[in-house]
Structure 1
Amino acid sequence: MTTDIPLENPRSRTALLAATPKGAAIGRRLARRQLTDWGLHSTHTEPFHCALLVIAELAANAITHGRIAGRGFELHLSLATSMRRGTTLRIEISDPRGDRLPILPILPIVHTPNAQSGRGLTLIDALCDRWGTIPRHPNSKTVWAEFDLAATAPDAP
């Protein structure tokens, strides 16, 4: 599923990162800096923190489930304005494992209390307004999440 309307005036940032814990950490720092530069920290505090959590979960999934030795993952952030939705923050993480699509578990889920994994997609689904996957060639995928912000975009430097 893709965004159902074209977005005008996008502001975006893309980074190719190593599919390692260090690469995921660099992606989280880069995202925090970019969202702060776009003014989200001061104007949209809750979406800012939710977006950072979604980025962390998607990056963790990319290095855990989407990793192929020698290939990285891509983080793409965009902030765009449309007539219909106002301002939308879109997060995309692309990895080389198009054969491993994320599937939201059917609720109710019973998690082992001390389990170290298994909650990421449930969190993503709860925190963002929309999310999904799109195939990417060759044999890769993009997992995306969107946040609807206020009708007016924050000022960019």
Structure 2
Amino acid sequence: MTRHQPTDEAPPPRTPTHHLALRFSNTRRGARLARQLAVQQFTEWTSLPHDSDPARTVALVTAELAANAFRHGSLPGRDFRPVLLLLPSALRIEVTDTRPECLPPRTTPQPADETSGRGLLLVQAYADRWGS
């Protein structure tokens, strides 16, 4: 969902200018390769350097979504699929795990001393910051 300021102009088109979808093995190596490929493709599409803030954000978001697909949606012999869509004013990152028929359980916030369980909060924070 994208926030728009009210204007007299039509909203920007949501048709991707670039699109990439691949399948990766549902392993740690597959998750790492998905992150590396996402950053590589993003920097090629935008001509931004690998060490730019947007490229680092792409790496973080892709890594978290791919790791969640690996950890929580794993089935032997089934791959996960990251999709990158470069829109005129945004980059959309989607990851479909190997169990798309199963929704994750609702969770409650973890105590501050927990070492895991906050990755999607990071993804949400970036999405909010970017207006999505």
TM-score under structure 2 normalisation?
Answer: 0.77
Answer yes or no: is 1:77 the counterpart of 2:77.
Answer: no
Partner letter of residue 112 of structure 1? D
Tell me how far 1:103 sits from its aligned partner. Answer: 4.5
Q: After superposition, what is the alpha-carbon deviation per residue over 1:21-70, rounded to whole angstroms, capped at 9, x for unaligned?
A: 0101111111111011012534xx32321121010000000000011111
Q: Which residue of 1 aligns with 2:94?
A: 92
Tell me how far 1:9 sits from its aligned partner. Answer: 4.5
Answer yes or no: is 1:27 the counterpart of 2:34.
Answer: yes
SS of equivalent residue, structure 2 residue 43? helix
SS of equivalent residue, structure 1 residue 36? helix
Q: Which residue of 1 aligns with 2:20?
A: 13
Q: Which runs of 4+ in 1 moved over 3 A?
A: 2-6, 102-106
Q: Which residue of 2 aligns with 1:154?
A: none
Please give the root-mean-square deviation of Cα atoms over the aligned residues, in Å. Answer: 2.7
Taking a change above 3 Å as real, the CA distance of residues 62 and 40 of structure 1, as seen in their structure-2 partners, is: farther
- Distance in 1 of aligned mates of 2:74 and 2:23: 13
Taking a change above 3 Å as real, the CA distance of residues 112 and 40 of structure 1, as seen in their structure-2 partners, is: farther
**Structure 1 or 2: larger helix share?**
2
Equivalenced residues, count: 121
**Structure 1 or 2: larger strand share?**
1
Taking a change above 3 Å as real, the CA distance of residues 65 and 9 of structure 1, as seen in their structure-2 partners, is: closer
- Distance in 2 of aligned mates of 1:119 and 1:73: 21
Q: Which sections of structure 2, spanning at least 5 residues, go unmatched?
A: 4-10
CA contact under 8 A between 1:51 and 1:128: conserved in structure 2? no
- Distance in 1 of aligned mates of 2:32 and 2:62: 10
Matches within 5 A, 1:115-154: 115=115, 117-129=116-128, 147=130
TM-score under structure 1 normalisation?
Answer: 0.66
SS of equivalent residue, structure 1 residue 70? coil
Q: Which residue of 2 aligns with 1:141?
A: none
